[in-house]
């Protein structure tokens, strides 16, 4: 409890709001790093995921390699990359992109796969070209799952972006490393709280986005249907025994 | 039903094989089970080590040298960091432990001041709790340094820390975060020697391969690398001399209990005398670069030096 009080004190200490180690600066760096990583990862994963989802080809390869990529320890990868290209921000960008690609890729192709095949057949039947099908049917219908993939990627990246400070003077990770080594646990916990808050804020933002991107047609069909079914006054068909008895009587 | 049973049998078999392998691994490396009972016998000396590969090599050297002279040794290696094992040394559960003069002195006496290796060693002998004794210190050390590349040192004719004043280009310092605020950090350079550094780049691997890479790439010019680092084996790095004792000299020193008699002490002193700074770097390089086990490295070196 004492630690928390000290950490909160650290968070409001005006001395931590000036200079090159100021909290707002570190927050902005951390957020910027997260956004850039997500953009790079999306540029790789979304087109690839759409291609896999639309054609249905290479799915098993994508599943297997995405699983393998997820298992790579980020710190180890970061060290390996930094050993070949040197310290600075490039190594963390590469390592974190590897972390962010699998969930986005999975979100992109599962979004396409979850669409009722009859919908796509119908689109094809009314004369839509393949490009039109992708743009006007598959992307809008698959969007909620894609945003879900982005949401999980953002959560992982914002938490792991602390590793950027391993090889660069960048982000909230600086508070964690410096606090740990100098036993300044207030600074360390304060830094962790900032990371948690940023993760929660991003999580909330993506949760909202996920709601808003559900196409109106899907939204109109889904929840109301469920409600009608649950508030049905009595079953249309009775239990198996009763149905059987009915048959006996009618004979 | 039959297949389920077979699956279960296979699982039990797999677990059993795994357990046997794991136990076999334990048996050869660290016989913890027999340790506590046999350490009660007066003829057995317990040798401990930190959870640090270089310290384990030194501990293994001590252990093998003692064994070669007829002592029975119980190895309790890789115990942990100083906070963990120090109580066990002071309570007499461990009889021989390789330590570092300056590092240990600072833990035992937080008002201690730095100085020459001999001054720090004699301060340590006084600061040790009763019942413990420091044998002769080795030439080998494992301490902080200010290190530059060989090319950089040649360019500006650098020998000791003060000569950094010759450097005309901006000097960027690299190392763990805490280096920035340590008493020997960049502030000490400007206060004591008037050397103004251009900035600080964190590289959080404790003077490991990333720090060396950053030095070689020119991302940083000055780094904190431990004297025993195998990186010095390549000859591409120069640790600047520290005649003023900016850093605490930390020479290898065996800390022993009263159970270590004169004969055992003589064995350890003889081994320690042969442990030079270059030797320790070379031994560490064998571990890091060639991935050799501590006991093999120790045996090879002791044989080469005719100590066993």
A86 contacts in B (CB within 8 Å)? 213-214, 217, 219
SS3 B80: coil
Q: What stretch of H or E contains B223?
A: strand B222-224
Per-residue model confidence as pLDDT tens digits over A128-185: 999 999 999 999 999 999 999 999 999 999 999 999 999 999 999 999 998 887 778 8
**A55 contacts: CB under 8 Å, gap ≥ 6:** none
SS3 A88: coil
First to last CA, chain A: 77
Written in H, E and C, the secondary structure of B174-213 is EECHHHHCCCCCHHHHHHHHCCCCCEEEECCCCCCHHHHH
Instruction: Indicate yes or no: CB of A169 within 8 angstroms of CB of B200.
Output: yes
Instruction: Indicate yes or no: CB of B177 within 8 angstroms of CB of A174.
Output: yes
Average pLDDT over all residues of chain A: 87
Instruction: Indicate yes or no: CB of A169 within 8 angstroms of CB of B201.
Output: yes
Cα diameter, chain A? 92
Instruction: Indicate yes or no: CB of B210 within 8 angstroms of CB of A169.
Output: no
Angstroms from B207 CA to nearest CA on chain A: 12
Instruction: Indicate yes or no: CB of B205 within 8 angstroms of CB of A79.
Output: yes
Where residue A228 falls among pLDDT bands split at 50, 70, 90?
Answer: very low
- Other CB atoms within a 10 A radius of the CB of residue B21 amount to 10
User: Quick one: pLDDT at residue A249?
Assistant: 53
Per-residue model confidence as pLDDT tens digits over B96-151: 999 999 999 988 998 998 889 999 999 999 999 988 999 999 999 999 999 999 99
User: Any chain A CB within 8 A of the CB of B213?
Assistant: yes
* Nearest residue in chain A measured CA to CA from B204: A166
- Other CB atoms within a 10 A radius of the CB of residue A63 amount to 16
Interface confidence (ipTM) of the complex: 0.73
| Rounded distance between C-alpha atoms, residue B106 and residue B108, angstroms | 6
Per the CB < 8 A criterion, the answer to whether B245 and B95 are in contact is: no
Residue of A79, A82, A165 with shortest CB distance to B202 = A165
| Rounded distance between C-alpha atoms, residue A65 and residue B214, angstroms | 32
Per the CB < 8 A criterion, the answer to whether A101 and A41 are in contact is: yes
Give B178's Cβ-side CA count (13 Å radius): 15
pTM, whole model, 2 decimals?
A: 0.74
Total residues found in chain B within this entry: 308
Per the CB < 8 A criterion, the answer to whether B143 and B249 are in contact is: yes
- Please state the CATH superfamily assignment of the domain spanning residues A17-222 in this structure: MetI-like (1.10.3720.10)
**Plot region of B194 (φ>0 → left; ψ -120 to 50 → alpha; else → beta):** left
User: Any chain A CB within 8 A of the CB of B156?
Assistant: no
Per-residue model confidence as pLDDT tens digits over B230-262: 999 888 999 999 988 899 999 999 999 999 999
Total residues found in chain A within this entry: 251
User: Quick one: pLDDT at residue B24?
Assistant: 47
SS3 B222: strand
**B72 contacts: CB under 8 Å, gap ≥ 6:** B38, B41, B43, B44, B45
Beta bridge partners of B237: B149
B107 contacts in A (CB within 8 Å)? none
User: Any chain A CB within 8 A of the CB of B126?
Assistant: no
Where residue B28 falls among pLDDT bands split at 50, 70, 90?
Answer: very low
B212 contacts in A (CB within 8 Å)? none
Residue of B178, B202, B213 with shortest CB distance to A83 = B213
Instruction: Indicate yes or no: CB of A167 within 8 angstroms of CB of B178.
Output: no
User: Quick one: pLDDT at residue B302?
Assistant: 96
Angstroms from A178 CA to nearest CA on chain B: 5
| Rounded distance between C-alpha atoms, residue B173 and residue B144, angstroms | 14
Angstroms from B4 CA to nearest CA on chain A: 28
B197 contacts in A (CB within 8 Å)? none
Q: What stretch of H or E contains A43?
A: helix A23-55
């Amino acid at each position: 409890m004492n630690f928390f009080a000290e950490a909160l004190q650290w968070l409001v200490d005006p001395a931590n709001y000036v200079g090159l180690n100021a909290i707002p600066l570190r927050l902005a760096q951390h957020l910027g790093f997260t956004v850039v990583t997500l953009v790079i990862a999306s540029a790789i994963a979304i087109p690839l995921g759409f291609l896999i989802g639309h054609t249905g080809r290479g799915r098993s390869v994508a599943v297997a390699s995405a699983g393998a990529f997820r298992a790579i320890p980020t710190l180890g990868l970061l060290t390996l990359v930094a050993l070949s290209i040197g310290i600075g921000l490039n190594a963390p960008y590469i390592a974190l992109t590897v972390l962010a690609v699998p969930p986005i890729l999975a979100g992109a192709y599962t979004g396409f796969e979850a669409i009722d095949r009859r919908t796509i057949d119908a689109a094809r039947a009314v004369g839509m070209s393949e490009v039109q099908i992708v743009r006007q049917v598959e992307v809008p219908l698959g969007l909620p799952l894609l945003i879900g993939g982005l949401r999980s990627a953002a959560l992982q990246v914002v938490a792991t972006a602390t590793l950027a400070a391993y090889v660069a003077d960048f982000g909230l990770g600086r508070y964690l490393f410096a606090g740990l080594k100098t036993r300044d646990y207030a600074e360390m916990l304060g830094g962790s709280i900032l990371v948690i808050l940023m993760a929660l804020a991003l999580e909330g933002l993506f949760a909202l986005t996920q709601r808003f991107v559900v196409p109106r047609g899907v939204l109109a069909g889904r929840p109301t249907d469920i409600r009608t079914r649950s508030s049905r006054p009595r079953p249309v068909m009775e239990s198996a025994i009763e149905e059987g008895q009915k048959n006996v009587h009618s004979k | 039903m039959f297949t389920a049973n077979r699956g279960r049998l296979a699982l039990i078999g797999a677990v059993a094989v795994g357990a046997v392998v794991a136990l076999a691994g334990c048996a050869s490396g660290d016989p913890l089970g027999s340790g506590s009972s046999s350490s009660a016998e007066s003829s057995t000396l317990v040798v401990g080590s930190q959870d640090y590969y270089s310290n384990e090599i030194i501990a293994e050297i001590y252990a093998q040298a003692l064994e070669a002279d007829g002592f029975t040794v119980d190895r309790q290696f890789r115990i942990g960091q100083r906070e963990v094992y120090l109580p066990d040394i002071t309570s007499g559960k461990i009889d021989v432990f390789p330590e570092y003069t300056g590092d240990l002195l600072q833990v035992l006496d937080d008002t201690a001041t730095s100085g020459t290796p001999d001054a720090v060693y004699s301060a340590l002998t006084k600061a040790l709790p009763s019942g413990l004794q420091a044998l002769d210190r080795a030439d080998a050390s494992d301490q902080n340094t200010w290190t530059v590349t060989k090319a950089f040192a040649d360019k500006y004719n650098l020998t000791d820390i003060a000569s950094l004043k010759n450097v005309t280009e901006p000097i960027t310092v690299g190392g763990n975060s805490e280096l920035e605020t340590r008493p020997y950090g960049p502030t000490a350079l400007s206060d004591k020697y008037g050397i103004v550094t251009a900035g600080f780049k964190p590289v959080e691997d404790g003077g490991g391969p990333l720090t060396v890479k950053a030095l070689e790439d020119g991302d940083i010019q000055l780094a904190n690398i431990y004297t025993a680092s195998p990186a010095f084996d390549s000859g591409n790095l120069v640790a600047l001399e520290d005649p003023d004792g900016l850093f605490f000299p930390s020479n290898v020193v065996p800390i022993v209990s009263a159970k270590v008699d004169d004969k055992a002490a003589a064995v350890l002193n003889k081994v320690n005398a042969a442990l030079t700074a270059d030797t320790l770097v070379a031994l560490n390089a064998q571990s890091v670069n060639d991935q050799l086990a501590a006991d093999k490295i120790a045996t090879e070196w002791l044989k080469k030096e005719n100590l066993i």
